[in-house]
Structure 1
Amino acid sequence: MPTFVIERQRSGPFSMPVNHFHDHYEVYYLVSGKRYYFIQDRSYLIEEGDLVFIDRNELHKTHNVDAQHHERILISFGADLVDDLGEHAVEHLLVPFTQKQHILSLTGTNRTFVENLLFSMLREQQQALNGWELGSNALLTQLLLYCSRLVDKTSAKEARNHAMNPKIFEIVAFINEHYRTRLTLTSISESFFISPSYFCRAFKETTGFSFIEYLNNVRIREAQRLLRETKLKVIDVAEQSGFDSVAHFGRVFKQVTQQTPLECRKLMRQVK
């Protein structure tokens, strides 16, 4: 992906694509409306004026609170943008990501200042004047530094167990810990003493994912890590990621990442 992308979108009822984790940072600002935002193993009610910080390779998804329209601004940027600023840039610019403070709720002058930066970035991109990339990067650096300083002064927004049994979050944590083992709808329903139909409905309402979609994403994310960090054969990566067969692993991997495991490994080695 390009080093830095910013986009603004107005939309009615909408859920993000099923398979959503990636190797870049993301900042999401809700201009108006309300959204549920599931991040890793928690769910948040996002309201206008909220900034959301998604770290690299964090599983996340937004979905509807109601049928009302919402407007958001989304920034995506690669690690190279921060690395190019020097060895101390991560320490100063990525505090919301490194401290896992996913949500900053902005009011008053803080909100005005951040919105001015965001709309300035959009104008730089739209007008594409000479040197607009440098201008956009400078504004993003200012935004990240401002938000990193705010983290120490602002209380984190609490995760909200919306419209469901808190047991669903227990199940999410269980999946995150035991994804390497054989997990089925029936086995989890029996282990947590809930009916399969209720489990399917409540899991989808809470996370935005179906059970199988979520499990596959967790397993594929681990497979990508193994492909990047080890020299394991693909068949061993499949087994250690929780897949029963290498053929099934290959199909799911391609569905989630749009690449084969070998293509993914080759690309990762080229990037290093």
Structure 2
Amino acid sequence: MNQLLQYKSEAFVVDHTVIDSPFDILTHIHDCYELFFFISGDLTYYIEGQAYKLSPYDLIITNSRELHRIVFDSDALYERKYIHFKPEYISSFQTEDYNMLTCIENRKLGHFNRISATDVRNRKIDLLWEKIEENAASPSPENHILMKSYFVQMLIQINQVFDMYNHPLVEHHKYDEKVVRILDFINKNLDKKITLDLLQRTFFVNKYYLCHSFKRSTGFTVIEYVTYKRVMWSMDLLLTGMSALDVAHTVGFGDYSTFYKAFKSITGSSPRQYCNQYNMNANK
């Protein structure tokens, strides 16, 4: 692995890395927003109910509630860039009339995540990214300002592409409609017991075919998806002051032990540690 650039601050991260022998990246979410700039390699990027086979210089956008994973289709040299950022990084530029996070927040989960290489170049998003990297490589007070200004310009360009994608004359992406309906059903019924037999009866589809179709379309198993979504919901509920035991039952886990293991596996911390860490950051 050759890391060409890494810049980190509390609310903004820039990374540029080349990997000789890539390995699959398991299902995950971020506690921030991500812009993923694909340079080279051979991979499929799975986000919620959609599989994106990427071409060089495609841009992927995900928010903090979209499950995603990367599966490499060969061991070709892999190069990518990403930016992780939190909304507060650009809060001073937001206005009542214009929300720069529209392209990230106001989408159906798993929809319109990709900006094509053609649009990236036409909107000069690639050139703005280079400017961000140039200033991140030599951080100074003035470069921090320049870096943020280029990033704001890039978000505006991304929003303009997003507006074009949502125009009624633009042909929409193709989705497996049955899988989309199953995803919607799962997200609306996380507090209930969800089994393959239930999904089979509800959607009139053989459960073994359902498992194969769901995995092919989303990159996740049904159980994996349900577990991640329940943990994500629990993260929000814990911050309201609800006890971990009550949260476990509210989000659909049968017992606290199962909830605890799943929460720690996915977040890397226990429910108590998660709340403590959040409170520490909030009080800084």
What's the TM-score once normalised by structure 2's chain length?
0.79
Structure 1 pair 196/152, CA: closer, same or farther in 2 (3 Å)? Answer: closer
Q: Kindly provide the CA deviation profile for residues 54-82 of structure 1, in whole angstroms up to 9, marking residues without a partner as x.
A: 12322223334566555332110112201
Unaligned 5+ runs, structure 1 = none
Note if contact 1:15-1:208 (Cα within 8 Å) is conserved in structure 2: no
> Is 1:29 aligned to residue 27 of structure 2?
no
- CA–CA separation in structure 2 for the residues paired with 1:150 and 1:92: 14
Note if contact 2:49-2:179 (Cα within 8 Å) is conserved in structure 1: no
Number of residue-to-residue matches in the alignment: 266
Shift of 1:193: 4.1
Q: Kindly provide the CA deviation profile for residues 216-243 of structure 1, in whole angstroms up to 9, marking residues without a partner as x.
A: 1100011011112x22221111111110
Structure 1 pair 264/6, CA: closer, same or farther in 2 (3 Å)? Answer: same
Structure 1 pair 186/66, CA: closer, same or farther in 2 (3 Å)? Answer: farther
Q: Kindly provide the CA deviation profile for residues 2-35 of structure 1, in whole angstroms up to 9, marking residues without a partner as x.
A: 32112223456643222x1222111122234564
Structure 1 pair 79/108, CA: closer, same or farther in 2 (3 Å)? Answer: closer
| Residue in structure 1 matched with residue 5 of structure 2 by the alignment | none
| Partner residue of 1:76 out of 84, 100, 112 | 84
- CA–CA separation in structure 2 for the residues paired with 1:90 and 1:213: 40
Shift of 1:46: 3.5
| Larger displacement relative to structure 2 (93-102 or 126-135) | 126-135
SS of the residue corresponding to residue 152 of structure 1 reads helix
> Is 1:248 aligned to residue 258 of structure 2?
yes
SS of the residue corresponding to residue 277 of structure 2 reads helix
Unaligned 5+ runs, structure 2 = 1-8
> Is 1:192 aligned to residue 203 of structure 2?
yes
- CA–CA separation in structure 1 for the residues paired with 2:145 and 2:274: 31
Shift of 1:153: 3.6
- Asked which structure has the greater RCO (Cα within 8 Å, sep 6+), the reply is 1
> Is 1:267 aligned to residue 277 of structure 2?
yes
Shift of 1:254: 0.5
Shift of 1:139: 2.1
Q: Kindly provide the CA deviation profile for residues 186-214 of structure 1, in whole angstroms up to 9, marking residues without a partner as x.
A: 43345434444433333222211122211
| Larger displacement relative to structure 2 (190-199 or 94-103) | 190-199
| Residue in structure 2 matched with residue 96 of structure 1 by the alignment | 103
- CA–CA separation in structure 2 for the residues paired with 1:39 and 1:201: 17
Note if contact 1:180-1:240 (Cα within 8 Å) is conserved in structure 2: yes
Note if contact 1:180-1:241 (Cα within 8 Å) is conserved in structure 2: yes
- CA–CA separation in structure 2 for the residues paired with 1:158 and 1:64: 26
| Residue in structure 2 matched with residue 173 of structure 1 by the alignment | 184
> Is 1:7 aligned to residue 35 of structure 2?
no
Structure 1 pair 31/13, CA: closer, same or farther in 2 (3 Å)? Answer: same
| Larger displacement relative to structure 2 (175-184 or 53-62) | 53-62
In angstroms, what is the RMSD of aligned CA positions? 3.0
Structure 1 pair 232/209, CA: closer, same or farther in 2 (3 Å)? Answer: same
State how 1:222-237 maps to structure 2 within 5 Å. Answer: 222-228=233-239, 230-237=240-247
| Larger displacement relative to structure 2 (8-17 or 137-146) | 8-17
- Aligned-pair identity in percent equals 24
Note if contact 2:245-2:256 (Cα within 8 Å) is conserved in structure 1: yes
